[in-house]
Amino acid sequence: MLAMIAKEVRQVRRDRRTLAMMIVMPVMLLIVFGYAASFDVSAIETAVTGPVAGEVAGRLPETFAIVDVEVTDPVDTLRRGEADVVLATDHGGAIAYVDGSELFTARAAVAAFNAAAVQGAPVKSEILFNPELDTSAVLVPGLAGLILLFIGSLVTSLGVVRERQAGTLEQLAVMPLRPRDIFVGKIAPYFVVATVDLVVVLFVGWLVFDVPFVGSPWLLGLGAMLFLFVTLGLGVLISTVSENQGQAIQLAIMTLLPQVLLSGLIFPLESMAAGVRWLGYLLPLTYFNQIARGVMLKGAPLDSLLMPLGLLALLGVVVFGLAVLRFRHELGVSEATVAA
């Protein structure tokens, strides 16, 4: 038995990579997530309108960050995500329209307004889009994205790695197929499956958790397609740097974990320290979350979602491009050096 223990110790000491992972990673993760995890709201974006707007704006507590937005219709402003709160002032008092889809912000705002008064009259709060401030309504859209991410990246990467391990990837390379044929062929079936998955998850969300769906399915579909593109491309990218299935799973989990905590799914992005928030801006789930919440809870129109959609498209192009490049490099069938 002693001999066994001695041997195992020697082996572990030599395996620097696992040691690094076991010691360095927990510390890193703690620091990053420590800064990310915050339910506190640092800034509530508020638009103030009405005849006494200027006065009121000046007297609002610091948590309310005034945004310079032209408000014709408070509901529309909120729907477009231009502000978290629209405070419509009047000589007799004020109404605060609160965006219920921003859960923590809404709660903080309502609490503040309940204790405040404008022009001597209490502020009436009207919570739009998620009147009950229901957590699942806010979580489910993003969760759908998370599930897609998991399946998309993990399953796709395993599919390619399996083929490489079986040796058949080489054979494909020698056949008259282009690298992009192989790439698209590999992700196409997963595209279909993932789309079906998305529909099922959202349906269950609607059925069991009463998650609303007030916006355009086509818009959500567009967002989902772009998101899937990035996700599956990420899967292929992971497979090009993994030698075996174990490594692929490790990498897939490593790209998954940050997205759970840094994408705004649970902890609002605005509340994160600046350095950590930037990480969030690089993640595809962040944008899908914005799109899904916007469409499902608020019925946000296309032009208000152009930025997340555009960024997803950009991410998609980058990931796809990288994956195809690496694929081509790996399957690099060179031209005949000399025709016989």
Binding-site ranges for other proteins (CB under 8 A): 2-4, 6-7, 10-11, 14-15, 166-168, 170-171, 173-177, 331-340
**Would you say 115 or 175 has its CB closer to other proteins?**
175
Task: Provide the minimum distance between the beta carbon of 177 and other proteins in the complex, in angstroms, as a whole number.
Answer: 6
Residue 155: how many CB atoms within 10 A of its CB?
Answer: 16
**Would you say 11 or 136 has its CB closer to other proteins?**
11
**Would you say 7 or 180 has its CB closer to other proteins?**
7
HEC string of 146-208 equals HHHHHHHHHHHHHHHHHHHHHCHHHHHHHCCCCHHHHHHHHHHHHHHHHHHHHHHHHHHHHHH
Task: Provide the minimum distance between the beta carbon of 82 and other proteins in the complex, in angstroms, as a whole number.
Answer: 52
Residues of 34-73 as b/e, b for ≥16 C-beta within 10 angstroms? Answer: ebbebeebebbbbbbbbeebeebbeebeeebebbeeebee
Length of the chain: 340
Task: Provide the minimum distance between the beta carbon of 321 and other proteins in the complex, in angstroms, as a whole number.
Answer: 23
**Would you say 181 or 210 has its CB closer to other proteins?**
181
Residue 125 vs residues 54, 76, 117, 120, 145: alpha-carbon distances, Å? 20, 17, 12, 16, 31
**Would you say 274 or 336 has its CB closer to other proteins?**
336
Task: Provide the minimum distance between the beta carbon of 152 and other proteins in the complex, in angstroms, as a whole number.
Answer: 21
**Would you say 160 or 261 has its CB closer to other proteins?**
160
DSSP secondary structure letters along 26-82: HHHHHHHHHHH-----S-EEEEEESTTHHHHHHHS-TTEEE-----S-HHHHHHTTS
Mode of pairing for the β-strands spanning 117-118 and 121-122: antiparallel
Among residues 235, 229, 210, the alpha carbon closest in space to that of 156 is found at: 235
Task: Provide the minimum distance between the beta carbon of 170 and other proteins in the complex, in angstroms, as a whole number.
Answer: 5
Task: Provide the minimum distance between the beta carbon of 1 and other proteins in the complex, in angstroms, as a whole number.
Answer: 10
Task: Provide the minimum distance between the beta carbon of 333 and other proteins in the complex, in angstroms, as a whole number.
Answer: 5
**Would you say 115 or 339 has its CB closer to other proteins?**
339
**How many angstroms separate the CA atoms of 128 and 84, rounded?**
10
**Would you say 114 or 244 has its CB closer to other proteins?**
244
**How many angstroms separate the CA atoms of 64 and 94, rounded?**
15
**How many angstroms separate the CA atoms of 158 and 167, rounded?**
14
Residue 185: how many CA atoms within 13 Å on its side-chain side? 11
Provide the token pair at 308: 């997340």
Task: Provide the minimum distance between the beta carbon of 194 and other proteins in the complex, in angstroms, as a whole number.
Answer: 20
Task: Provide the minimum distance between the beta carbon of 143 and other proteins in the complex, in angstroms, as a whole number.
Answer: 32
**Would you say 20 or 317 has its CB closer to other proteins?**
20
Reported as type and span, the H/E element at residue 87 is strand 85-90
Residue 166: how many CB atoms within 10 A of its CB?
Answer: 10
